[in-house]
């Protein structure tokens, strides 16, 4: 299973990668929405999850999600917006654009895992703490 992490911060990509790798995901990294679209073309067949920041240079996360959701064949991919945006109106914009869930920075591993569980994202069972 592949997950695409799109964030202009290398440190944040590393944090997210350390959370999702034990869940059974192979992380693919992109530094902005445009880079994310290029990676999407390469890995669209195996991508199950996209974790995207909102505020990035070149192409922001909201633009990325809008373009992603225009392609019917990619609508199966779960998208979580991870951002510092905290205004309810901004959250609504992200969800209306096609984000499946919204996580505010700073966040914990538990918060991200909880969102994945709520969305029913498939992960290795032992990663959820199941017996």
Q: What is the CATH number of the domain that holds 51?
A: 3.40.50.2300
What domain range includes position 56?
A: 2-128
Which range has the worst mean pLDDT, 3-12, 27-36, 107-116?
107-116
Higher pLDDT, 80 or 127: 80
Whether 4 and 28 have beta carbons less than 8 Å apart is answered as yes
pLDDT tens digits for 43-64? 989 999 999 999 999 999 999 9
Q: What value does the mean pLDDT take over residues 71-97?
A: 89
Task: Specify the DSSP element, H or E, that contains 4.
Answer: strand 2-6
Predicted local distance difference test score (pLDDT) of residue 18: 95
- The Cα 25–Cα 64 span in angstroms is 21
User: Is 17 in a helix, a strand, or coil?
Assistant: helix
Predicted local distance difference test score (pLDDT) of residue 26: 94
> DSSP letters along 52-93, please?
EESS-SSS-HHHHHHHHHHSGGGTTSEEEEEES---HHHHHH
Residue 127 makes CB contacts below 8 A (sequence gap 6+) with 22, 23, 24
Q: What value does the mean pLDDT take over residues 9-28?
A: 94
Q: What value does the mean pLDDT take over residues 107-126?
A: 78
């Amino acid at each position: 299973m592949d997950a695409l992490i799109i964030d202009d911060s290398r440190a944040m990509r590393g944090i997210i990668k350390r959370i999702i790798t034990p869940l059974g995901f192979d992380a693919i990294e992109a530094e902005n929405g445009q880079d994310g679209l290029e990676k999407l073309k390469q890995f669209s067949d195996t991508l199950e999850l996209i974790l995207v920041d909102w505020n990035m240079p070149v192409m922001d996360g909201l633009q990325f999600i809008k373009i992603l959701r225009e392609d019917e064949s990619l609508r199966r991919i779960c998208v979580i917006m991870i951002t510092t945006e905290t205004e309810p109106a901004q959250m609504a914009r992200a969800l209306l654009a096609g984000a499946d869930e919204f996580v505010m920075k700073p966040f914990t591993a538990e918060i991200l895992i909880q969102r994945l569980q709520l969305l029913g994202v498939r992960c290795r069972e032992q990663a959820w703490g199941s017996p």
